[in-house]
Structure 1
Amino acid sequence: MNMLKLTPLVITMVLSGCAVGPDYQTAEQTLTTKQKLVLETEYLNSGVAGVNNTSAFSTSSAWWYQFNDEVLNRLVADAQQQNIPLKIAAERIKAAKAYQNVVESFKVPTVSLGIGFSSLGLSENDPLLGPVVSSDNPLGMALVDSNQQAFHAGATIAWELDLFGRIDQQAKAASIRKEQADIFRQGLTTMITSEVIHNYLQFRGAQERKAIALAMVKDQEATLKLVNKVVASGYGSDLDLARAKAMLAATKSVVPQLETAENAHQQRLAILLGDSPAQMQQRLNRAKPLPELSGIIPTGLPSNLLQRRPDIRIAEREMAAVNAELGATIANQYPKFYLTGSPGLVAENFDDLFSSDSAAWIASVGVSWNLYDGGRGDALIELQEARFKSSVLSYQYAVNSAIGEVETMLAGYGNSHQYQTLVSDSKSETDKAVKKAKSLYAAGLADYLTVLDAQRQQHIMQDRVIAARLQTANFAVRLNKALGGNWEVL
Structure 2
Amino acid sequence: MKLHKLSLIAAALILSGCAAGPDYQPPKQTLDTEYLYQQTAGTSQQAVLANTSPWWYQFNDTMLNQLVADAQHQNIPLQIAAERIKAAQAYQNVVESFKVPTISLGAGYSSFGLSENDPLLGPVVSTNNPLGTALIDSSQEAFHAGATIAWEMDLFGRIDKQAQAAAIRKEQADIFREGLTTMITSDVIHNYLQMRGAQARKAIAAGMVRDQEETLTLIEKMLRSGYGSELDLARAKAMLAATKSVIPQLQTAESVHQQRLAILLGETPAGMKARLSQSQLLSASQPVPELSGIIPTGLPSDLLQRRPDIRIAEREMAAVNAELGAAIANQYPKFYLTGAPGVLAKDFDDLFSSDSAAWIANIGVSWNLFDGGRNEALIDIQEARFKSSALSYQHTVNGAIGEVETLLYGYGNSQQYQALVLESKAETDKAVKKAKSLYAAGLVDYLTVLDAQRQQHMMADRVIAAKLQTANLATGLSKALGGDWELQ
TM-score by length of 1: 0.94
- Distance in 2 between the 1:386 and 1:336 partners? 26
Structure 1 pair 375–7 and aligned structure 2 pair: CA distance change class (3 A): closer
Which residue of structure 2 aligns with residue 326 of structure 1?
324
Deviations 1:195-236 (CA, angstroms, capped at 9, x unpaired): 111000000000000011112222333344444454455544
RMSD, aligned α-carbons: 2.1
Structure 1 pair 167–55 and aligned structure 2 pair: CA distance change class (3 A): closer
Pair 1:379-2:377 in alignment: yes
Which residue, 232, 246, 254 being the options, matches 2:246? 254
| Amino acid of the structure 2 residue aligned with 1:38 | T
Which residue of structure 2 aligns with residue 299 of structure 1?
297
Deviations 1:65-123 (CA, angstroms, capped at 9, x unpaired): 11111100110111011111111110000000000000000000000000000111111
Residue 238 of structure 1: CA displacement? 4.4
Which residue of structure 2 aligns with residue 76 of structure 1?
68
Give 3-state SS (helix, strand or coil) of 1:284's partner. Answer: helix
| Amino acid of the structure 2 residue aligned with 1:337 | F
Which residue, 154, 158, 177 being the options, matches 1:162? 154
- Distance in 2 between the 1:445 and 1:89 partners? 69
Which residue, 232, 237, 242 being the options, matches 1:245? 237
Which residue, 355, 360, 363 being the options, matches 1:362? 360
TM-score by length of 2: 0.94
Which residue, 396, 400, 403 being the options, matches 2:401? 403
- Distance in 2 between the 1:15 and 1:352 partners? 44
Residue 407 of structure 1: CA displacement? 0.2
Residue 462 of structure 1: CA displacement? 1.5
Which residue, 97, 100, 112 being the options, matches 2:104? 112
Which residue, 245, 265, 269 being the options, matches 1:273? 265
Deviations 1:307-356 (CA, angstroms, capped at 9, x unpaired): 00000000000000000000000000111000000011110110010001
| Amino acid of the structure 2 residue aligned with 1:192 | I
- Distance in 2 between the 1:428 and 1:485 partners? 38
| Contact in 1 for aligned 2:47/2:299 (Cα 8 Å) | no
Q: Which moved further from structure 2: 195-204 or 51-60?
A: 51-60
Which residue of structure 2 aligns with residue 343 of structure 1?
341
Q: Which moved further from structure 2: 196-205 or 278-287?
A: 278-287
- Distance in 2 between the 1:383 and 1:359 partners? 50
Which residue of structure 2 aligns with residue 23 of structure 1?
23
Which residue of structure 2 aligns with residue 394 of structure 1?
392
Residue 163 of structure 1: CA displacement? 0.4
| Contact in 2 for aligned 1:160/1:337 (Cα 8 Å) | yes
Pair 1:427-2:437 in alignment: no
Structure 1 runs not aligned, ≥5 long? 29-36
| Amino acid of the structure 1 residue aligned with 2:114 | L
| Amino acid of the structure 2 residue aligned with 1:174 | A
Structure 1 pair 6–366 and aligned structure 2 pair: CA distance change class (3 A): closer
Deviations 1:360-393 (CA, angstroms, capped at 9, x unpaired): 1000100111111111111111111111111111
Which residue of structure 1 aligns with residue 411 of structure 2?
413
Which residue of structure 2 aligns with residue 85 of structure 1?
77
- Distance in 1 between the 2:434 and 2:304 partners? 57
Residue 466 of structure 1: CA displacement? 0.5
Structure 1 pair 457–81 and aligned structure 2 pair: CA distance change class (3 A): same
Give 3-state SS (helix, strand or coil) of 1:143's partner. Answer: coil
| Amino acid of the structure 2 residue aligned with 1:393 | L
- Distance in 2 between the 1:216 and 1:284 partners? 25
Between the two proteins, the alignment pairs up a number of residues equal to 482
Give 3-state SS (helix, strand or coil) of 2:98's partner. Answer: helix
| Contact in 2 for aligned 1:151/1:347 (Cα 8 Å) | yes
Give 3-state SS (helix, strand or coil) of 2:207's partner. Answer: helix
Q: Which moved further from structure 2: 480-489 or 352-361?
A: 480-489
| Contact in 2 for aligned 1:57/1:486 (Cα 8 Å) | no
Percent identity over the alignment? Answer: 76
Give 3-state SS (helix, strand or coil) of 2:24's partner. Answer: coil
Which residue of structure 2 aligns with residue 47 of structure 1?
39
- Distance in 2 between the 1:239 and 1:329 partners? 83
Which residue of structure 2 aligns with residue 284 of structure 1?
276
Which residue of structure 1 aligns with residue 200 of structure 2?
208
Which residue of structure 2 aligns with residue 31 of structure 1?
none
